[in-house]
Chains A and B, each alone.
Chain A
C-alpha cells in the first residue's frame, strides 16, 4: 500500500509534532494526562480540571458505547471522576490514570446497564440512533463520505464497534493499553491494526461507494 496524501479532510491536530524535531513522537493523550495528574498530586488543584477536559470525551464514548442512556452515561462519568479523587493516591504511576479511568467507567457502565436491563428501562433513543442506524438526525449532520463510512462502522460486531469508537478518541501509542482496559484481547489493536480495523477496511474496500483510499 502506498502513502498518498489525504485528498480532502482536515488536518489532524494529533498528527502534528507540536514543533518537535521530526521523528520525535508527539505527546499522546496518556502523556498529557500523566503530566496533569502528577501535577495535581503535587498540590496543583487546577490540574484536575485539565485532566477532566482531556479525558471526558474518551470516557463518554466508553460509556455510551456500552449502550448506556445519556443520563446514565453522565452519571457514570461523574461517579468515575469522584472515585478518582478518593483513590488518587493509590494509583502508583501517573501514566496509569487513563487506563484506571477507562476501567472504572467500563465497570460502572456494565453495572448500570445490568440495573437498567433488570428494571426494564427503555434504552435511550439516542443510543439506538447511534448504534443501529443513522436517523434523520445523522443524515443531516454527516457528510457523504462519513455516511458511507458510518454504514460500515455499524456493520461491525458490537465489541469491534465499541473498540473502534473509543480508541478513535485516543492516540496510537495508547491503543493497546486502552483496548486492554476495555477487556479486549491482547493484539485486538496496536501495534497491528487488529481484527476490528482489518474487518472495517475489508468491508470498505468492497464498497464501490467508498471513494476514500485506504493506504
Chain B
C-alpha cells in the first residue's frame, strides 16, 4: 500500500461517506448479537435492584407464545424469599374487531400476600412497565398486556423495603 506523501487534510464529505460505508459493512459482517442489549439491561436491573434471580421451576412445553387462542401457559418460579406462578392467556377480544391489538392476560400468584408484581417488557416495549399489588392471598391480574419478551419483578411488600425477586425473561 502506498503511504501518502502529503499531510492529511481536514475531514471532509468524502471521509464522512467512506465511514458511513464502513459502518454499514461492519453492521452486516459482524452485527451486535440480537439479544445482547436486552441481556445487558437485564443484568444491570438485577444489579441496580440487588435482586435475586428466581429459578424456573416449571415451564410449559415451549417458552414461546403459541398462536392458538385457547392457549393457557403456566410458568412457575422460585427464589429464596418467595415463589411465583404465572399464567398467560390470550385476551379475549371481539373476534369481529380486526383492528384490535393482540393482548395477553397475566394472572399471578405469589407465595406472599400483599406482594407487588411489576412486569418489565424488554425489546420494543421497554419502559412500559406495569405494576400491581396482590391481594392477601398473593393473587393479582394484569389485563391487556402487550405480548413480547418481559421479566417480572416481585417485592414481598408494597413498601419495597427488601430486595426483590426477578424472573428470567419470558415470552408473554
Which residues from chain A sit less than 8 Å from chain B, CB to CB?
A: 1, 3, 6, 9, 12, 15, 45-46, 48-49, 52-53, 56-57, 60-61, 64, 70, 74, 77-78, 81-82, 85, 126, 129-130, 134, 137-138, 141-142, 145-146, 149-150, 153, 155-156, 164-165, 167-169, 172, 175, 189-195, 197-204, 206, 212-215
Quick one: given A45-B48, A165-B22, A203-B1, are A9 and B40 in contact (CB under 8 Å)?
no
Which listed residue (B9, B17, B40, B44) contacts A193, Cβ 8 A?
A: B9
When the two chains form their complex, are residues A60 and B36 in contact, meaning their CB atoms are under 8 A apart? yes
Closest Cβ of chain A to B169, distance in Å, is 14
B130-156 contacts to A, CB under 8 A, are none
Partner of A197, one of B8, B20, B24, B40: B8
Cβ distance B72 to chain A, nearest Cβ, rounded Å: 31
Asked if A153 meets B22 with Cβ closer than 8 Å, knowing A52-B37, A77-B36, the reply is yes
Chain B residues closer than 8 Å to A197, beta-carbon distance? 8, 11, 15, 18-19
Interface centre among B1, B3, B40, by most chain A C-beta atoms within 10 angstroms, is: B40
A82 touching B43, Cβ below 8 Å: yes
The answer, yes or no, to whether B60 is at the interface (CB within 8 Å) is: no
Known: A82-B44, A199-B4, A202-B2. A149 touches B14 (CB 8 A): no
User: Is there an interface contact between A141 and B29, defined as CB atoms closer than 8 Å?
Assistant: yes
Contacts of A169 in B (CB 8 A): 23, 26
**A77-B40, A129-B29, A194-B8 are contacts. A168–B22 as well, Cβ < 8 Å?**
yes
The yes or no answer to B33 lying at the interface (CB within 8 A) is yes
Residues in chain A near residue B27, CB distance under 8 A: 57
Residues of the A chain whose Cβ atoms lie less than 8 Å from the Cβ of B25: 142, 146, 149-150, 153
Q: By CB atoms of chain A within 10 A, which of B15, B33, B47 has the most? A: B15
- CB pair A206–B2 under 8 Å, yes or no, is yes
Residue positions of B touching A, CB distance < 8 A:
1-4, 6-30, 32-33, 36-37, 39-41, 43-44, 47-48, 126-127
Q: Is the CB of B19 within 8 A of A168?
A: yes
**Which residues of the partner chain A approach B17 to less than 8 Å between Cβ atoms?**
6, 9, 12, 212
Given contacts A141-B28, A142-B25, A164-B22, contact A3 B40 (CB under 8 A): no
Instruction: Give the distance in Å from the alpha carbon of A129 to the alpha carbon of B9 in the complex.
Output: 32
In the complex, besides A146-B21, A201-B4, 13 extra interface pairs with C-beta distance below 8 angstroms are A12-B17, A46-B127, A57-B32, A146-B24, A149-B21, A149-B22, A168-B20, A169-B23, A192-B11, A197-B11, A198-B8, A202-B1, A215-B14
What CA separation (Å) do A172 and B12 show in the bound complex? 10
**Given A15-B16, A61-B30: A49 in contact with B127 (beta carbons within 8 A):** yes
Task: State A200–B18 Cα separation when bound (angstroms).
Answer: 9
Q: A146-B21, A193-B10 are in contact. Are A74 and B41 (CB under 8 A)?
A: no
Enumerate chain A residues within 8 angstroms of B39, measured Cβ to Cβ: 74, 78
- For A191, the chain B residues whose CB sits under 8 A away are 10-11
Give A75 Cβ to nearest chain B Cβ, in Å.
10
Q: In the docked arrangement, what's the CA distance between A197 and B83, Å?
A: 57
CA distance A145 to B17 in the complex (A): 12
How far apart sit A45 and B127, CA to CA, in the bound complex (Å)? 10
Which residues of B have CB within 8 Å of A134?
29
